[in-house]
Amino acid sequence: MKQADITVTRENAGARLDVILSGELGLTRSACQNLIENGLISVNGEIRPKNYKVKEGDRVRADLPEPKTVELAAQDIPLDVVYEDDDIIVINKPKGLVVHPAPGHEDGTLVNALMHHAGESLSGINGELRPGIVHRIDKDTAGLLAVAKNDAAHIRLSEDLKEHKIKRRYLAVVLGRVKEDGTVSRPIGRSRADRKKMAIDGAAAREAVTHYSVVEHLNGYTLLRCELETGRTHQIRVHMASIGHPIAGDPLYGAKNDRSGEDGQLLCAVHLELTHPRTGERMEFDVEPPEYFTRFVLKKRER
């Protein structure tokens, strides 16, 4: 049994107990509700119901059962390997590929493919369900992803990620005409209304910063270059939607009048820059946007 301690901040005061837990622990609300119902959650030493409204300064303790052992299946799923050595693999992930197993996606993931490709040569730091995974990109986002092949590489890359030393640049097509370059600096947490979504100032919100610049104005859209300073779940998607320019084709945060869904979510990670964990060499990787992305841009290009 593992323990997690949470102190409620002023920003999160008034939220439901299950919502706070979901945001802090990275679990679904139903999973958190099960923990509460089984008496594994206490607030200031007392058992509270799932709809208890937390107060600033409340101390929440969670007793978390150890995860069940799960056997990961190695699956022969094609991988676009951009670079590989004894310490790291850089993958160009296609749209539609989930990064690691989760409820509803127990196999057919990037991790299953990596198990086939690299065998046991993957870092174990992120646990048995996420071997080697240092950072993630969404299922429907294509692009570059770094994977650690040993624990030493994983630790170094994770430290660099926290210190903003790993640069990740995306291309995005957003709805509407973005007039000028800018930065969105707004905290992101789990949505209190929909556990599948993230939201500005959501439960257990954490600092999130996205820089964007205009590449080209299109008919009804804008092609942007986005650079992450932080790496919150769905960060670019949430930030761009928050300023009235959601990602084209985004099924979760997109506009109701968006008709670009047939081309998929138009967001791709095209540039990755990191320091090699063993040699200290600064390395840069670039890929072209996927064909469906380029096709949409050409179709909407102003003439």
286 assigned to active site: no
Neighbouring residues of 147: CB distance < 8 A, sequence distance ≥ 6: 88, 89, 90, 91, 114, 122, 132, 133, 134
Instruction: Output the DSSP codes for 49-115.
Output: -TT-B--TT-EEEEEEPPPPP-PPPP------EEEE-SSEEEEEEPTT--SS-BTTBSSSSHHHHHH
Measuring CA to CA, how many Å separate 288 from each of 61, 92, 142, 254? 46, 10, 10, 24
CA torsion 170-173-175-178 (nearest 10°) is: 70
How many whole angstroms separate alpha carbon 138 and alpha carbon 30?
A: 22
Place of tokens 């138009």: 266
Identify the active-site residue in 138, 201, 250, 286.
Answer: 138
Q: Cα separation of 35 and 296, whole Å?
A: 46
Enumerate the active-site residues.
138
